[in-house]
Amino acid sequence: MNHMPRPLTRSDEASHPNSFIAQRAEDTLIELTRIGPRVVGSMANEESAVEFLRAEVAKVESEMSDLLEIEVDVQQASGAYMHWEMVNMYQGIQNVVVKLSEKNSTNENYLLINSHYDSVPGSPGAGDDGSMVVTMLEVMRVIAKSGDPLAHPIVFLFNGAEENPLQASHAFITQHKWAKNCKALINLDSAGSGGREILFQSGPNHPWLMNYYRNVPHPFANTLAEELFQAGYIPSDTDFRIFRDYGGVPGLDMAYIFNGYVYHTKYNRINAFPRASFQHTGDNVLSLARALANAPELDDTAAHSEGHNIFYDFLGWFMIFYTETTSIIVNVVVTLLALLGVGISIYFMSLRSGCSWKGVLLRFSISIAIQFVSLILAIGLALLVALFMDGVDRSMSWFTSSWTIFGLYLAPIVFGLSILPALYLEKTKRDPLGLGFRIQLFMHSHCICLIVIMLTLTGLSIRSAYLIMLCILFDIVALIVNLVTKWHRKAYLFAIAVTVCQILPLVFFTYLCTVALVTLMPMQGRSGSSTNPDMVIAALVWLFSLMFAGFIAPLIMFFRKTRTIVLCFLGITILFIIIAVTNAGFPYKEKTSPQRYSLIHAHRRLHNADGSTRIDESGLYIYPQDRRFGIAKDNIAAIGEAHQVSDFCDEEMFCGMPLYNHRWNKARQYSMWIETSESPEIPTEYPMLVLQDSSELETSAQRRFNFTLAGPSHMGIFINVKNDARILNWSFNDTLIREQAEPPYMVYFSYGLDDSPLEFTIDVETTSTFDTPTLEIGIGGHWVTQDITAIEKLSSYINRFPSYAYIQGWVGTYETWYF
């Protein structure tokens, strides 16, 4: 899992002229991160970063082969689209777009490679996504200098507004002059800092892409990751979705996933990013770029659209992939072979033991029932531990100390899988069917349970059913070996074949489980407070235990003190629960695994219909990003009395709070508001919403309101209707109105270089008259580009949090009016 190639240095360049040089990429990232956080709307992002990229591209051009040519375009665009439940609107955001092609090339089908150079507030963005930006620059340099043939031009898109979210990719694919020519995509992002980049989305419906990925030097890909991501279990999104949904561009989505603890924090620095990761990713992207830029499929990608893929690497050595149709056939064939093998085994048991085949089938049926109940008991015990840990406010004890997962969740699962078979075999020890045969029946029972699960998943079009298929396949191999050698007749010899045939599955599934845990554990620190993260870990451990423990656990039954051994796993669980509730299970550690909060020191002012003010106060909006926010309750209480934000939601539109985006709206039940006597240090004027005019439309019951809005680079526009009015249309993206979504509505607005006032219109229809207000509009202002260390009051509040907490903070305002 952690194997990495040797990073090449500048001294290796002479002997590796056509290779990716990791040290060059690292040096470039050092220079990029010296700019500081690159937030949309800041000078760092809109000027310094753009100048930096243009200078780096100029260096590439200066040493480029005479066979190639470069064209650079800095795009500035405005637009809007729906992002989940909110309108996502942008103005004057930028992309640095570079086209590398053969001189005088007439090919109009391009390869697109994308990463983003902007970062979240307060983060230098070394891993996310500066590492991929410099990887693209180095790949561009190597290809340009080598003069490799490019049947298709390559467009390198350095996008300047991904964190907003995904605005710059939307601007490119819907507006740029080269967008319609982009036929395939390599998207590069990060949800961590280093390690091996994983391919977690492919296509969709373009399996030919895997023919090229299979040849990369360091494959790391899995269908399971794709399905988890697309099902929403990963709290992230990437530009891949925008290119897919708005441009129909098939591609490969790759990202760093290791060390997600520093993702989107101030600790996402160059010193947390290993040089070897550049080499790993650079080798792969360079190989893909060269291959796809000469792929004949780009000339007509629609002709090669053939359905979904199943894909996975084996320990990073090689790739296995096949189509979803092939997968269905394989799963059915494996099922038939397994049923045939189990049937033959039961037949021979009947012959060898002297028991009737009906008697063996009866015992087999009992074994299946016990095994099925054991699987339920195993997951039930694991979830019970998860509920208990959460109930005593000790969830996430594994967040820093991952070793606790063994005792908390693996041990009760093994206990649950083993205790009922152990008791049954103990009660039936005088059964004429030998112990070896009865243990084999439990293995066959587990195989039957897996077949049911696999066929169910296959029927639901869940491609990760291949994992269950592999379990069954290796069990069949062991069964065939035992039948051919007649070891199945011997009390102990059959266990040799079973054990040997489970070595590869054990290694493979342990590899996958470790990758999944390393990925998902840090993500639970930013997945919000509404769900119990221990449930996720318990379910994951059960899933992978299901795949191999069900065949290994029955071998415990050969020992004389079977029940004692099984009860030891229960004892281990109790011991680890005790450890987890002590300081040994404390989940956080400063710098390496911090607890996350978002905080706004805000001033909110809410007006009545007659223009008077009903609320005028300052306070702290605190958004905890994980389940254990109660751990800092004493620190928060020292600031002031905390009120649940959801307490205000029945009285005010969007709770009357400066919600930053739709995620904040979803998390309002667990967010807090603390009134403070000190007003925030707002660096510029408050957002100014001006009603320019209103005019009658087709009837006196319809009116158009014309507004202008000026303010900071990030603002929220909240709109509600009053007194039986409804919105007919507006100048924003019209999806919410067209689909007749219920108000109130949220519009997320940000701008880059173009800070001119936003002009927008809202058309309203009322059943009464316009003498009474028909619209309520709230404006949230967010000064996210400021250095919080320079804001004294905000810093003083942040310093009251525990040292292990990371606070992403800024100052803001929220104001509402009636019209």
Per-residue pLDDT at 737: 96
Q: How many CB atoms lie within 10 A of CB 579?
A: 17
Partners of 672 in the β-ladder: 622, 644
User: What is the pLDDT confidence band of residue 280, given thresholds at 50, 70 and 90?
Assistant: very high
Q: For residues 301 and 424, state if they share a domain.
A: no
Nearest Cα neighbor of 77 from 157, 182, 174, 180 is: 174
CB 463 within 8 A of CB 205: no
Nearest Cα neighbor of 750 from 144, 4, 46, 272 is: 46
Q: For residues 367 and 429, state if they share a domain.
A: yes
Q: For residues 125 and 218, state if they share a domain.
A: yes
Distance CA 604, CA 657 (A): 7
What percentage of the chain's residues is helix, strand, coil (to nearest 5)? 45, 25, 30
Per-residue pLDDT at 1: 87
Per-residue pLDDT at 104: 92
Structure tokens at 652: 């005010």
Question: Of 249, 277, 307, at which residue does a domain stop?
Answer: 307
Distance CA 797, CA 491 (A): 69
User: What is the pLDDT confidence band of residue 274, given thresholds at 50, 70 and 90?
Assistant: very high
Per-residue pLDDT at 353: 81
Distance CA 356, CA 765 (A): 81
Query: Once rounded to an integer, what is the mean pLDDT over residues 251-280?
Result: 96
pTM: 0.94
Nearest Cα neighbor of 421 from 576, 565, 571 is: 565
Structure tokens at 795: 């810093």
Q: Give a yes or no: residue 317 inside a domain.
A: no
Residues 6 or more apart whose Cβ sits within 8 Å of residue 543: none
Q: Identity (one letter) of the amino acid at 582?
A: T
Per-residue pLDDT at 306: 85
Q: For residues 140 and 211, state if they share a domain.
A: yes
Q: Is the pLDDT of residue 488 over 90?
A: no
Average pLDDT, the chain: 95
Structure tokens at 417: 């899988």
DSSP 601-665: EEEEEEE-TTS-EEEEEEEEEEEE-STTGGGGHHHHHHH--EEEGGGGTTTSGGGGS---SHHHH
The per-residue pLDDT for range 495-551, each reduced to its tens digit, is 899 999 999 999 999 999 999 999 999 999 999 999 999 999 999 999 999 988 888
Query: Once rounded to an integer, what is the mean pLDDT over residues 687-702?
Result: 94
DSSP H or E stretch at residue 721: strand 714-721
Q: Give a yes or no: residue 293 inside a domain.
A: yes
Distance CA 156, CA 136 (A): 7
Per-residue pLDDT at 558: 87
Q: For residues 705 and 809, state if they share a domain.
A: yes
Query: Once rounded to an integer, what is the mean pLDDT over residues 48-77?
Result: 97
The per-residue pLDDT for range 723-760, each reduced to its tens digit, is 899 999 999 999 999 999 999 999 999 999 999 999 99
Residues 6 or more apart whose Cβ sits within 8 Å of residue 709: 687, 688, 689, 690, 715, 717, 749, 757, 758, 760, 779
DSSP 740-786: TPPSPEEEEEEESS--PPEEEEEEEE-SS-TTS--EEEEEEEEETTS
Question: Of 532, 563, 585, at which residue does a domain stop?
Answer: 585
DSSP H or E stretch at residue 715: strand 714-721
Cis before 616? omega within 30: no
The per-residue pLDDT for range 174-203, each reduced to its tens digit, is 999 999 999 999 999 999 999 999 999 998
Q: How many CB atoms lie within 10 A of CB 676?
A: 17
Distance CA 750, CA 748 (A): 7
Residue that the structure tokens 């751990």 belong to: 631
Burial 308-337 (b: 16+ CB within 10 A, else e): bbbbbbeebeebebebbeebbebbeebbee
Q: Identity (one letter) of the amino acid at 332?
A: V
Distance CA 379, CA 415 (A): 11
User: What is the pLDDT confidence band of residue 235, given thresholds at 50, 70 and 90?
Assistant: confident
Q: How many CB atoms lie within 10 A of CB 635?
A: 12
Per-residue pLDDT at 560: 82
User: What is the pLDDT confidence band of residue 292, given thresholds at 50, 70 and 90?
Assistant: very high
The per-residue pLDDT for range 129-165, each reduced to its tens digit, is 999 999 999 999 999 999 889 999 999 999 999 999 9
Query: Once rounded to an integer, what is the mean pLDDT over residues 365-379?
Result: 96
Q: Give a yes or no: residue 590 inside a domain.
A: no
Q: Is the pLDDT of residue 576 over 90?
A: yes
Residues 6 or more apart whose Cβ sits within 8 Å of residue 398: 404, 405, 408, 521, 537, 587
Q: Is the pLDDT of residue 328 over 80?
A: yes
Q: For residues 120 and 212, state if they share a domain.
A: yes
Per-residue pLDDT at 793: 94
H helix count then E strand count, the chain: 23, 21
Q: Give a yes or no: residue 75 inside a domain.
A: yes
Residue that the structure tokens 């439309």 belong to: 697
Residues 6 or more apart whose Cβ sits within 8 Å of residue 772: 609, 722, 723
Query: Once rounded to an integer, what is the mean pLDDT over residues 314-328?
Result: 93
CB 263 within 8 A of CB 189: no
CB 412 within 8 A of CB 382: yes
User: What is the pLDDT confidence band of residue 368, given thresholds at 50, 70 and 90?
Assistant: very high
Per-residue pLDDT at 555: 87
Nearest Cα neighbor of 730 from 773, 756, 690, 764 is: 764
Q: Give a yes or no: residue 407 inside a domain.
A: yes
Residues in the chain: 819
Distance CA 606, CA 619 (A): 14
User: What is the pLDDT confidence band of residue 253, given thresholds at 50, 70 and 90?
Assistant: very high
CB 712 within 8 A of CB 732: no
Q: For residues 701 and 604, state if they share a domain.
A: yes
CB 429 within 8 A of CB 436: no
Distance CA 282, CA 290 (A): 12
Torsion sign (Cα): 74, 80, 83, 88: positive
Query: Once rounded to an integer, what is the mean pLDDT over residues 38-61?
Result: 98
Domain that holds residue 340: 324-585
User: What is the pLDDT confidence band of residue 429, given thresholds at 50, 70 and 90?
Assistant: confident
Per-residue pLDDT at 301: 94
The fraction of the chain above a pLDDT of 90, given in percent, is 88
Q: Identity (one letter) of the amino acid at 507?
A: V
Q: For residues 227 and 370, state if they share a domain.
A: no
Structure tokens at 79: 């637009």
Distance CA 340, CA 360 (A): 16
Q: Give a yes or no: residue 718 inside a domain.
A: yes
Q: Give a yes or no: residue 314 inside a domain.
A: no
Query: Once rounded to an integer, what is the mean pLDDT over residues 394-408?
Result: 96
Query: Once rounded to an integer, what is the mean pLDDT over residues 754-775?
Result: 94
Torsion sign (Cα): 353, 356, 357, 358: negative
User: What is the pLDDT confidence band of residue 304, given thresholds at 50, 70 and 90?
Assistant: very high
Q: Is the pLDDT of residue 350 over 80?
A: yes
Counting Cα atoms < 13 Å in the Cβ hemisphere of 309 gives 31
Q: Is the pLDDT of residue 10 over 80?
A: yes
Query: Once rounded to an integer, what is the mean pLDDT over residues 588-615?
Result: 95
Per-residue pLDDT at 113: 98
Q: Give a yes or no: residue 37 inside a domain.
A: yes
Question: Can you say whether residue 264 is alpha, beta or left, with left for phi > 0 and alpha for psi between -120 and 50 degrees?
Answer: left
**Which CATH number is 150's domain given?**
3.40.630.10
Phi, psi of 711 (to 5 degrees): 170, -160
Q: For residues 303 and 334, state if they share a domain.
A: no
CB 776 within 8 A of CB 720: yes
Give CA torsion, residues 150, 147, 285, 71, to 10 deg.
-70
Q: For residues 50 and 179, state if they share a domain.
A: yes
Per-residue pLDDT at 234: 79
Q: For residues 462 and 443, state if they share a domain.
A: yes
Q: Is the pLDDT of residue 711 over 90?
A: yes
Per-residue pLDDT at 703: 96
CB 207 within 8 A of CB 323: yes
Per-residue pLDDT at 790: 85
From residue 370, alpha-carbon distances to 256, 327, 549, 550 in Å are: 42, 30, 15, 12
Higher pLDDT, 790 or 588: 588
From residue 671, alpha-carbon distances to 340, 668, 813 in Å are: 57, 5, 17
Per-residue pLDDT at 351: 86
Per-residue pLDDT at 466: 96
Nearest Cα neighbor of 553 from 377, 357, 342 is: 377
Q: For residues 99 and 163, state if they share a domain.
A: yes
Question: Can you say whether residue 654 is alpha, beta or left, with left for phi > 0 and alpha for psi between -120 and 50 degrees?
Answer: left
Q: Is the pLDDT of residue 492 over 90?
A: no
What's the gap between Cα 711 and its chain centre?
32
Q: How far apart are the first and last CA of the chain?
A: 60
Query: Once rounded to an integer, what is the mean pLDDT over residues 782-799?
Result: 93
Determine the 3-state secondary structure of 588 from DSSP. coil
Question: Of 537, 556, 585, at which residue does a domain stop?
Answer: 585
Count of structural domains, the chain: 3
Higher pLDDT, 282 or 563: 282
